[in-house]
Amino acid sequence: MFYSAKFWGALRGVINVMLVVYMLAPLVIIFVISFSSALYLTFPPPGLSLQWYEKMFSNPTWTRTLVTSLKIMVPAAIVATVLGTAAALALSRMESKWALVIRAVLMAPLVVPVIITAAAIFGVFRIWGLYGSLSGLILAHVILTLPYVLSTVSANLAVFDKRLEDAAANCGAPPWTAFRRVTLPLISPSVMSGMLFAMVISFDELVVSLFLSTPRVRPVTVQMWSNIKGDTDPTIAAIATVLFLFSLLALLADGLARRRSGREPGL
C-alpha cells in the first residue's frame, strides 16, 4: 500500500482539503453571516440581506472609527515606506560591520513581542502628551510597519545588479537622476509590496492601538474589540468582512506586484 502512488495521491488530496477548510472555513462563514437576514449570528442564514452593512454605514460609531483607521493607516504607511526604503538603500551600500547592527536595531520592533512595544510606547507617549492623539498612533504604527518595508526592499536590493546604476553614472547621470530613472523603477515592485504590508498591518493593528487610543480617537479594531467582549450582532460580522476583504485585496495586489517582478509569493 505504501508504494501505491494512488494511495499517496489520495492522502495528499485529503490533507489539502482539510487545510483549506481549517484555514478558510471560519472566514467564509463570517462572510456569509454578514449578509444574513436574521437578527442574530446564525448559520446558515435563513435569507440574504444587506441590513448589517446598512447598519454599519449608518452608525456613526463604525463610520467614525473606520475613518480614524484610514487617517492613521495612510500617513503611517507612507512614512514607513519612505523611511524604510531609504534605510534599505543606505544599508545595501554600507560596507562597515555596523550595517548588521543597524539593521538588527531597525528590525527589532518585528522581533520584540508587540505587547512590550505597546506598553513601552504607551508609558512614554503619556509623558510626552502623545497618548490619545492621532499623531501618537501614526508614529507607533510607523515603528511597527517599518521593519516590513525594510526587509522586503532589502531582499530585492540583494539581487539588484548595482552595475546598472554604475552604468547610468558612467553615462553622465547625476546620482539622483540615476536613482530615479534606474534604481527606483527596478525596486518599485518591492517598495509597493512593502507599502501594502504596512497598510494591512496598520489597518488590522489592535494591541498598540488598544493602549494609545481614547474614546475620542479610536480605530475600528479597538471598537470591534470592545463590542466583541459585550454582546455581538451580525454588524460585527460585516465589519470583520470589510477588514478581511481589505487584507485579501492587498494580498492579491501583492501577488500581482510579485508576478510582474518574477518573485515567488511568500511572506
Which residue is it, cell 558612467? 170
Task: Select from 39, 67, 120, 164 the one that contacts another protein (CB under 8 A).
Answer: 120
Task: Select from 48, 67, 124, 164 the one that contacts another protein (CB under 8 A).
Answer: 124
Task: Name the minimum Å distance from CB 58 to another protein.
Answer: 22
Residues between 44 and 83 that touch another protein (CB under 8 A): 83
User: What are the grid coordinates assigned to 111, written together?
Assistant: 522581533
Task: Name the minimum Å distance from CB 240 to another protein.
Answer: 4
User: What are the grid coordinates assigned to 91, written together?
Assistant: 544599508
Residue closer to another protein, measured from CB, 54 or 123:
123
- N- to C-terminal Cα separation, the chain: 37
Question: Please, what's the b/e burial string for 116-155 (b: 16 or more CB within 10 A of its CB; e: otherwise)?
Answer: ebbeebbeebeeeebbbbbebbbbbbbebbbbbbbbbbbb
Residues between 91 and 110 that touch another protein (CB under 8 A): 91, 93-96, 102, 105-106, 108-109
Cα gap 87→145, rounded to integer Å: 13
Q: Is residue 89 near another protein by the rule CB under 8 A?
A: yes
Residues between 179 and 208 that touch another protein (CB under 8 A): 200, 203-204, 206-207
- Which amino acid is it at 264? E
Cα gap 136→129, rounded to integer Å: 9
User: Other CB atoms closer than 10 Å to residue 4's CB: what's the count?
Assistant: 9
Task: Name the minimum Å distance from CB 113 to another protein.
Answer: 3
User: What are the grid coordinates assigned to 25, written together?
Assistant: 472555513
Residue closer to another protein, measured from CB, 63 or 226:
226
Task: Name the minimum Å distance from CB 165 to another protein.
Answer: 9
Residues between 8 and 37 that touch another protein (CB under 8 A): 8, 12, 15-16, 19-20, 22-27, 29-30, 33
Task: Name the minimum Å distance from CB 210 to another protein.
Answer: 7
Q: How many residues interact with another protein (rule CB under 8 A)?
A: 82
> Cβ neighbours of residue 123 under 8 Å, at least 6 residues apart?
none
Task: Name the minimum Å distance from CB 34 to another protein.
Answer: 11
